[in-house]
Amino acid sequence: MSRPARFLAKATWRRISQALFLVLFLFLFIKTDYSGIDELTWAVNLFFRIDPLLAAAAMLAAKTVVMLMLPALLILLLTLIFGRFFCGWVCPLGTLIDAVRPLFGPTGGHPQPGWRHGKYYLLFFILAAAFFGLPLAGYLDPFSLLVRGLTFAVHPAMDHAAITLFTWTYQSAPGWVNVVTEPFYSLLRQHILPFTVKVYTLSVFSLLLLLAVLGLSSLHSRYFCRKLCPLGALLALNARFAPVHLVSGSRDCGTCGHCHAICRMGAIDQERSISKAECILCLDCLSHCPNARIQYSWVGPGAGSGTMDLSRRAVLASLASGALAPLVLPTRPLARQPDPLLIRPPGALAETAFLGLCVRCGECMKVCIGNVLHAAWLEAGLEGLFTPKCLNRIGYCEYNCTLCGQVCPTGAIRRLTMEEKHTTVIGRAYFDRNRCLPYAAGIPCIVCEEHCPTPDKAIKFREAEVINSSGEMVNLLQPYVVEELCIGCGICENRCPISGTAAVLVTAEGESRHADEFGTMGGGY
């Protein structure tokens, strides 16, 4: 094969592709936000919708075809033809893993294949568990890991850093400095930073997970991709059949073995045979082979090294444990008494269906303009980790906003029309009269009533004559909730001016998504 003379090395094309997809990914990440209308103008959840792992897990859990996730088929088809190009050329987490690799000393591969089968067994376990009712795919999905880390920790931290710096320049630096810094800051604010300061639960944890995935590269390059990534495993299973692939060197090569030494995936063995399943087409070997013996060409569907050496016993064991693990879930008290503070976003499906479809991508929490959506810890069980829940003391659900349902890649949160949104009950408020100022201290307040967004206010007030804490008789207004009008948006709890726990609180009571369950959710007799 004649090389295009002095043209870019093939691996450079791969690097350009990686960079472009990373930029696209980050661009869509930034655009996962309100943009002046209640419509997302970009396909911000694109990466999730082409993710075959999440598509498979969601469809197995829902036992139906999730139309939103059909674009993932495209990636599967392309992988069937071209191999695991996705991991090497597209995946933004893979790109970051490649990018940090130089931090851990000399680059290059690691000859030992290691326990690379782990990812397959993990995949089988995850898919079987998803089908039988324990959805876990989102925990290790590369995009989910990445978006969570970015949304919960990296982006807010960048914001904090910028605010700290530019508050200092604004308040302390001379005018001529501000002539430069202020326009720069407003550019950052407009195009990069979040619109307002946001906080998130599990931010440090999510960051540590992401850092751990990157840091595993210190053991050997692409550790996560080689051994853990269930998406990589799913693609690898398809890549085995790829008819076009790298044709490896032959026995004539002699004792060089350079390709074997540099392969970042450990996909080339001592005999210079390239594993179709493990190769991510980074094309390093192509560029580095001293004799230019490695080529990318037609090898035929069956040909090449396609075997995976999976142990049948281990495959069956992972499938069986995936099928059996969900059996233990109904043994927990959660089955009878869900956490009353587990308030799901408006449009969320009934809990079981919701958990099955939710891929923990964090997109709803990224887009939430009220900063009310936060990652759950164990409130919804082990399988509910990273699923969205409302924390009303931190934010509230904006009455006219439907963005979370628009951004959800699987429909775990339904897309609501504005009318539906206005009538979707996610919880209901109640007053703690021991803390509420007009009741407890005889002090006028009703900030909650002021903010209550339903046109016929769900929080109303009565005039009352009470004795205040100084013993004086005062006339004031005491708020109360009209249950049928309350949709649980939580702005009352959010704006309640007393410090600490609010005096008006929202629980998941009365939520629309469980309206058909005859009151069986939440215990009772």
Q: Residues 396 to 435: which contact another protein by CB under 8 A?
A: 398-401
Binding part of the chain for another protein, among 145-153, 164-172, 237-245, 324-332 by CB under 8 A, reads 164-172
Q: Candidates 111-119, 190-198, 211-219, 298-306: pick the segment binding another protein (CB under 8 A).
A: 190-198
Our finding on whether 159 is near another protein (CB under 8 A) is no
179 binds another protein (CB under 8 A): no
Rounded CA separation 399/363 (Å): 19
41 or 171, CB closer to another protein?
171
Among 445, 503, 506, 508, binds another protein (CB under 8 A): 445
Judged by CB under 8 A, the chain residues 455 through 484 that form the site for another protein are 455-457, 461, 472, 474, 477
Output 12 or 196, the one with its CB closest to another protein.
196
Q: How many Å separate Cα 31 from the centre of its chain?
A: 15
Span from 11-19, 61-69, 263-271, 451-459 in contact with another protein (CB under 8 A): 451-459
Choose one: 94-102, 116-124, 162-170, 426-434; the region binding another protein (CB under 8 A): 162-170
Q: Around 122, how many Cα atoms within 13 Å sit in the side-chain half-sphere?
A: 23
For residues 332 and 496, the answer to whether their CB atoms sit within 8 Å is no
Residue 194 near another protein by CB under 8 A: no
**Phi and psi for 264 in degrees, rounded to 5?**
-70, -20
Bridge partner list, 297: 245
- Report the site for another protein in 15-34 (rule: CB under 8 A): 34
Neighbouring residues of 499: CB distance < 8 A, sequence distance ≥ 6: none
Min. distance of Cβ 452 from another protein in angstroms? Answer: 8
Q: Are strands 295-298 and 473-481 parallel, antiparallel or unpaired?
A: unpaired
- What whole-number distance in Å separates Cα of residue 89 and Cα of residue 25? 13
Measured CA angle at 150 (ends 149, 153), to 5 deg:
70
Figure out which of the listed residues 71, 108, 453, 522 binds another protein, where binding follows CB under 8 A. 453
**Contact between 84 and 246 (Cβ < 8 Å):** no
* Residue 196 makes contact with another protein by CB under 8 A: yes
Q: Which residues contact 489 (CB under 8 A, 6 or more apart)?
A: 396, 397, 398, 399, 426, 453
The mark string for 369-398 relative to another protein (x by CB under 8 A, - otherwise) is xx---------------------------x
Stretch that binds another protein, among 140-148, 172-180, 191-199, 259-267 (CB under 8 A): 191-199
3-state secondary structure 20-57: HHHHHHHHHHHHCCCCCCCCCCCCCCHHHHCCHHHHHH
The single residue among 443, 466, 482, 485 that binds another protein, judged by CB under 8 A, is 443
Q: Given candidates 271, 309, 450, 484, which one binds another protein under the rule CB under 8 A?
A: 450
Shortest Cβ 459–another protein spacing (Å): 9
**3-state secondary structure (DSSP) of residue 496:** coil
Residue 7 pairs in a beta bridge with: none
Q: Does 162 bind another protein (CB under 8 A)?
A: no
Q: Which one, of 107, 373, 376, lies nearest residue 263 by Cα? A: 107
Question: Does the protein bind another protein through residue 36 (CB under 8 A)?
Answer: yes
- Helices 230-239 and 118-132: crossing angle in degrees, nearest 10, is 100
Per rule CB under 8 A, is residue 188 in the interface with another protein?
no
Q: Does 166 bind another protein (CB under 8 A)?
A: yes
20 C-beta neighbours (distance < 10 Å), count: 13
Min dist CB 401 to another protein, Å, is: 7
Measured from the CB atom, the residue of 197 and 204 that comes closer to another protein is: 197
Choose one: 60-68, 122-130, 219-227, 448-456; the region binding another protein (CB under 8 A): 448-456
Q: Which is nearer to another protein, 90 or 489 (CB)?
A: 489
Given the complex with another protein, which of 249 and 442 has the nearer CB atom? 442
Region binding another protein by CB under 8 A among candidate stretches 84-92, 119-127, 358-366, 449-457: 449-457
Provide the mask over 224-263, with x wherever binding to another protein is found by CB under 8 A and - wherever it is not.
Answer: ----------------------------------------
HSE-up of 67 (CA within 13 Å, CB side)?
Answer: 1
Q: Does 85 bind another protein (CB under 8 A)?
A: no
* Alpha-carbon gap, residue 12 to 20, rounded angstroms: 12
> Closer CB to another protein, residue 262 or residue 452?
452
Minimum CB separation of residue 446 from another protein in Å reads: 5
- Which position has the token pair 């909650």? 448
The dihedral built from the CA positions of residue 266, 270, 276 and 280, taken in this order, carries a sign that is positive
Please tell me the distance from the alpha carbon of residue 274 to that of residue 259, in angstroms, as a whole number: 9
**Side-chain half-sphere of 350: how many Cα atoms within 13 Å?**
11
Q: How many whole angstroms separate alpha carbon 404 and alpha carbon 408?
A: 6
Q: Applying CB under 8 A, which of residues 27, 42, 195, 298 lies at the interface with another protein?
A: 195
In the complex, least distance from residue 421 CB atom to another protein, rounded to whole angstroms:
12
Cα(152)–Cα(194) distance, integer angstroms: 11
Interface map 312-351 toward another protein (x if CB under 8 A): ----------------------------------------
Alpha-carbon gap, residue 127 to 38, rounded angstroms: 35
Query: Angle at which helices 155-172 and 175-191 pack, to 10 degrees?
Result: 160
In the list 12, 64, 167, 352, the residue contacting another protein (rule: CB under 8 A) is 167
- Residues engaged in binding another protein (CB under 8 A): 34, 36-37, 163, 166-167, 170-171, 195-197, 369-370, 398-401, 437, 443-447, 449-457, 461, 472, 474, 477, 495-497
